[in-house]
Amino acid sequence: MTRDDPPPERPRVLVVDDEPQIIRALKVVLREAGFDTVAAETASQALDLAAVHPPAAAIVDLVLPDGDGVEVTNKLREWSEMPVLVLSAVGEEDQKVRALEAGADDYITKPFAARELVARLQAALRRATPAEEEPTVAVDGLEVDLAARVVRLDGQPVHLTPIEFELLRMLVRNRGRLLTHRALLAEVWGPHYVEDIQPLRTHIARLRAKIEPEGATPRYIVTDPGIGYRFAA
Tell if the pTM clears 0.75, that is, is over it: no
Find the length of the chain. 233
Q: Which of 135, 136, 147, 140 is nearest to 212 (CA)?
A: 140
CA distance 109 to 22: 12
**Chain centroid to CA 191: how far?**
21
Classify strands 221-224 and 228-231 as parallel, antiparallel or unpaired.
antiparallel
What's the confidence (pLDDT) of residue 8?
62
Sheet order of strands, 142-145 included: 136-139, 142-145, 150-153, 156-158
CA distance 139 to 233: 6
CA distance 89 to 112: 10
pLDDT by residue for the chain (233 residues), tens digit each?
Answer: 455 555 567 899 999 999 999 999 999 999 999 999 999 999 999 999 999 989 999 999 998 999 888 999 999 988 988 999 998 876 667 777 888 888 888 888 888 889 889 988 988 888 776 555 667 888 889 999 988 889 999 999 999 888 899 999 999 988 888 999 999 998 888 877 888 888 899 999 999 999 988 777 888 999 988 899 999 86
Torsion 123-127-132-137 (CA) sign? positive
Domains in the chain with CATH codes: 12-128 (3.40.50.2300), 136-231 (1.10.10.10)
